[in-house]
Amino acid sequence: MAGFNGGRPNREEQREERRREAVRHTGLMKAAFGKETDEAIENARIYEEGEGRALLWGAEAEAAKAAAEAAQADADGAQAGNEEAREEAELVEEAAEAAEAEGAEGAEEAAGAAEPAATETTTKVVTSFAPEALYRDAAGKTMIVDPAAFTRPGGAYEDGAFGPEQILCSESNLYPVLCAHKRDFYDKNRDYRRGSLFTDRALYVPDVLFSRGGDTRRADVLAIAEPIRAFALENHRSERECDKALADRLETIFRIAAANGIETLIMGAFGCGRNGYPVAQVIELIKTWISQHPGAVPNIVFAVPRFNFDAFQEAFGQPVVEEPVEVVEEEDDEEREDWRDIELPEGITLR
């Protein structure tokens, strides 16, 4: 049959089917969840380059506030005309105020940044896609990391592309939200490609609505681009630049999650695979951040491809608890029937 290989549709037909489904799903989301989509568009926030890495929460926010107060006191006591001290105090105070505002988001009448609810971080590794992990493994306020296309909303979702971002779009109302921010987010990103390393500029979308079989769930989504080491090196970027881009991007993800009071973070093997970063490097950066900020994000679920599962499972998987083996006590020898005492028919022997 034309267009089929062994009874299976070819890639072009699969892509065309996904394209039709994307158009159908987008229309359905707009019709069924128009109000929720408009609210997500309105409440979405853009974190500019470097802004996410500067976010503070909990003890960090308190320390920044104390430093701001001390700097202000020094500035007040300085001689008139000592503008440098005053400017420094103002900058530190602004950082502290921003930290408090971040920590208060989502909590009514919060006085400042909230302390993490946990003192340690629990991790889990699964091979399911992020939406399935949301339904099966998420607890409390959840954020999903969307490894987003840097300059195009949803990547090539409506063109039938298939990948982590397109899967998120196919099971939620995320795509219309991303499209609504084409001008203020994606178009402006065109000036910051940096040889395919991109920047930490991120779009935070609260309360994205996921729907599966009539069961709806909500989760915040962080659209942030993965640096592509493989292309960056071809574009004459140094190894040092590539390493810094990955470290900064992961720092941004975790700090945005912590500052927004996220209880469960769902993310993939960020930067691995075709992006060119060794899985060991990604894992080491994540482990280091978790060890330095225990409980900042109480639960992290790594929804990774099968070819990265073993490495992530070894680093972050929960140990398998062996079920106790039931021991059946043997009967006393005196209670056993001795087979030698059994009378056998004539001509039958046991060997």
131 and 76 share a domain?
no
93 and 179 housed in the same domain: no
44 and 65 share one domain: no
d(CA 227, CA 248): 10
**Residue 204 located in a structural domain:** yes
79 plus 199 within the same structural domain: no
Round to whole Å and give the CA distance between 180 and 87: 38
Cα–Cα distance measured from residue 246 to residue 198, given in angstroms and rounded to the nearest whole number: 10
pLDDT in tens, the chain (351 residues): 444 455 667 888 999 999 999 999 999 999 999 999 999 999 999 999 999 999 998 777 777 777 777 777 666 665 555 666 566 666 656 666 665 565 555 444 433 444 445 789 999 999 999 999 999 999 999 999 999 999 999 999 999 999 999 999 999 999 999 999 999 999 999 999 999 999 999 999 999 999 988 899 999 999 999 999 999 999 999 999 999 999 999 999 999 999 999 999 999 999 999 999 999 999 999 999 999 999 999 999 999 999 999 999 999 997 655 555 554 544 454 444 444 454 555 555 544
Q: Is residue 109 part of a domain?
A: no
- If you count them, how many residues does the chain have? 351
Tell me if 324 is assigned to some domain: no
Count of structural domains, the chain: 2
Q: How many CA atoms lie within 13 A of 300 on its CB side?
A: 28
Same domain, 95 and 153: no
Residues 192 and 63 in one domain: no
In a domain, residue 348? The reply is no
Residue 333 domain flag? no
- The pLDDT assigned to 257 comes to 98
CATH number for the domain harbouring residue 41: 3.40.220.10
Residue 4 located in a structural domain: no
Do residues 40 and 189 share a domain?
yes
Rounded-to-integer distance, Cα 264 and Cα 32, Å: 27
- Specify whether 65 is located in the same domain as 39: no
Give yes or no: residues 186 and 299 share one domain: yes
Burial 251-285 (b: 16+ CB within 10 A, else e): bbbbbbbbbbbbbbbbbbbbbbbebbbebebbbeb
CA distance 184 to 187: 6
**Residues 187 and 281 occupy one common structural domain:** yes
Q: In terms of domains, do 148 and 45 share one? A: yes
Q: Are 262 and 230 in contact (CB under 8 A)?
A: no
Q: Please indicate, yes or no, whether residues 66 and 178 belong to a single structural domain of this protein.
A: no
The whole domain housing 64 covers 58-99
Backbone angles phi, psi at 203, to 5 degrees: -110, 115
